[in-house]
Amino acid sequence: MPTIVVEVMPKAELLDPAGKAVSGALARLGHTVFTSVRIGKRFELTVDGPVTEATLAEARMIAEEMLSNQVIEDVISVHEAPAVGVGA
């Protein structure tokens, strides 16, 4: 069944304490090439039927109103997953 992927990240102007902690840990472990880490969420919505423009619009609305907290997060992408059940 087709899948819509929603990606949510903390707003750029806000601190991300968990990301900061991971970033510090990576530096301590010698992975100094990565200067900062931010941690967001990735939702997979399984769609019953074909993905139409209306389905995508409904997913976008759900992403903005329910899957993200607009005070601290941005929805950065709502798109149909290219393949079904296959990771890259």
User: Which residues sit at the interface with a copy of itself, rule CB under 8 A?
Assistant: 1, 4, 7-9, 12, 19, 22, 25-26, 31-49, 55, 58-59, 62, 66-67, 74-77, 79, 85, 87-88
Cβ 14 to a copy of itself, closest distance in Å? 14
69 vs 77 by CB, closer to a copy of itself:
77
Over the range 61-84, which residues count as b (16 or more CB within 10 Å of their CB) and which as e? ebbbeebbeeeebbbeebeebeee
Q: How far is the CB of 10 from a copy of itself (least distance, A)?
A: 10
Residues 35, 20: Cα–Cα separation, whole Å: 10
